[in-house]
Amino acid sequence: ASLDQIGAMAADWLTEGLMPLAGVLVPVPTEQVSQLLRVRAEGSVAPRVNTEGLVEGTGAGTVVSGSYYQRGDSLEFQAQVFNAIEGTILGAAEPVRGSVEDPGHAIGLLRGSVTGILAARFDPLMGIEIPASVRPPSYEAFQAYSSGFSAWRDGDYAEALRHL
């Protein structure tokens, strides 16, 4: 319970990071998702997502789910992106660690990873599908790729090379 605010902060920052992605529509506010979560499973310390409830209650086809743990004076965050309708994993972010005193840094790293997974899967500029077993690019790397691809398409090869 002492980490609940950090979880809310992570959810809000991840949601905010998804807003500018082409091909990704974030119609479900964090607050609505929170209401559809099972608070605590019996005998478990981690909240569990009722996937069927999320799909039915929100119409979401893709869900970002994660967890966070405190170990001493550090936090560890993990996140997965999955197709809620088919029940398949689209990708998993590398775990990130940060200080309990400054969780924002680790959450920022996680956000870059999650947005990279979603950009690689849904941005129409990408044009290829990356298997879930392959480590996805960070969002910053994806932005550089998109800029390079756009420059290449426009015939500005020097600019494309700079970004790619």
Give the tens place of pLDDT for each residue, 103-136: 999 998 898 888 888 877 776 665 555 555 555 5
Give pTM, 2 decimals: 0.65
Confidence at residue 13, expressed as pLDDT on a 0 to 100 scale: 83
Look at residue 66 and give its three-state secondary structure.
strand
> Do 42 and 139 form a contact (C-beta atoms < 8 A)?
no
The one-letter code for the residue type at 112 is G
Is residue 138 within 8 Å of residue 113, measured between CB atoms?
Answer: yes
Going from the C-alpha of 86 to that of each of 89, 132, 139, 148, the distances in angstroms are: 9, 14, 25, 33
| Phi, psi for residue 2 in degrees, rounded to 5 | -70, -15
